[in-house]
Amino acid sequence: MIWTEIIRCSNDFKEDVIAFAQKLIQTPSLSGSEGDVAELCLNEMKKLGYDEVFIDDIGNVVGIIKGTGNGPNIMFNSHMDHVDPGDESNWEYPPYGGIIADGYIHGRAASDVKGGLAAQIYAGGVLKKLGIKLKGDFIFTGVVQEEPAEMFGMRYLCDKTFAQKGIKFDLMVSSEATSMDIYLGHRGRIELEIVTKGRTSHGSAPWRGINAITLMVPVITEIQKLAKNLPKHEFLGQSTIAPTIISCSPGRLSIIPDRCTLCVDRRIVPGETKEEVLSQIQQILDMLKQSVPNFNAEVRIRKVVETSYKGYSEECEKYMMPWYVEPDHPFVIKAVEALKQIGQNPGFGKWDFGTDASYVTGVLGIPTIGYSCMEEKYAHTPYDRVKIDDLIKSVAGNAAIAYNIAG
């Protein structure tokens, strides 16, 4: 039976999958420096017999196993970058060691998302080795710079690379950490900057100036009030708003600051828009202008310029849409069926953080599910790791999902 063969073949690949995951972890790929990992992925897919492999103009890596053309195309997606390991003295194992201990592979990005990346690539290898010809295409994509600018690499991949090459897909499977469950969505994110403007004076004579920090105090108070009255989604949870960074200029002990900037993390649920979010803050600022002497402030969505390792630059607005796929969606039902056929019993869950699915599902309207061997609790920590047993099981799981949906 095909399900038994998928399990057997995945187990046969065990040592290769472990070695590849170790190699990925041992290869640093901070955001904007993913080139070496892209080459590793490219060469591994060539070795496994993918029909087409390439790196696009921004640095994303793509591998395709062609179907017969009369079924849905599935994109299995991972990002290739990772966050900085920080102080290495906090790590029990070297962050770039890929050390195996206690049934885990340890190291930076093992759980975000190099374990899942290895499993997705080898799922295609399982289909190739078993000679399974899907009706739809199996597409693997490894994108750049998800960590600092979700959607930067993904947007380029979909809007430019795929558009130019005529590549289409009907479902995305994200490898972001799900602990072997199926995830169906997450809240959106907006990064706001609120700036209050005052007037400098000598610190010894504060009455001669207008302190921009003092002007920010009632703003924070009103934000805390707003936080208690935000909407909630029955599956994705509560909208939130949280001040996260505050800074001022000139930033000298003896100078009253004339500018104070507050960065705010705003998580939104379906039904909320960026226009609504900006309006909520603007109403606060307008109200304070009427009640606080010398009050002067503005709000905007943060924008950053990202540059890929291939030199492509783009200004990115820090706004990600929320998204949610219903558990009775046909693709979800098929994915659950597939995993149960190979002895897995997934539940449903959601991410608290954001993913590139905000573009695929939130903007393009193409459904996404999350399925992965990795555990969210280890992401971005000095305990970063992936469980080897789940790593191999997820190779089979990804292959089974592809077979049941596109087979």
d(CA 193, CA 42): 39
The CA distance from 17 to 122, in Å, is 7
Residue 276 exposed, middle or buried by CB count within 10 Å (0-12, 13-18, 19+): exposed
Annotated active-site residue in 146, 150, 356, 384 = 146
Q: Kindly list the distances between the CA atom of residue 55 and the CA atoms of 38, 40, 41, 332, in Å, as whole numbers in the listed order.
A: 7, 11, 10, 30
- Tokens matching residue 91: 């790590």
By DSSP bridging, strand 297-301 and strand 323-324 are unpaired
d(CA 117, CA 123): 10
Kindly name the residue from 34, 44, 56, 81 that is annotated as catalytic.
Answer: 81
Place of tokens 């490219």: 42
How many helices and strands in the chain, by DSSP H and E? 11, 21
Q: Look up residue 401 and give its amino acid.
A: I
| CA dihedral of 320, 322, 326, 332, whole degrees rounded to 10 | 20
Check if the beta carbon of residue 371 is closer than 8 Å to that of residue 178: yes
52 catalytic, yes or no? Answer: no
Q: DSSP string spanning 333-384? A: HHHHHHHHHTT----EEEESS--THIIIIIIS---EEEE-S--GGGTTSTT-
> Any idea which residue has 């049934």 for tokens?
103
271 CB burial (10 A radius; 0-12, 13-18, 19+) = exposed
Is 191 annotated as catalytic? no
What string of DSSP letters covers 19-46? HHHHHHHTS--BTT--HHHHHHHHHHHH
Give bridge partners of residue 99 from the DSSP assignment.
106
Residue pair 352/178 in contact (Cβ under 8 Å)? The answer is no
Q: List residues with catalytic annotation.
A: 81, 146
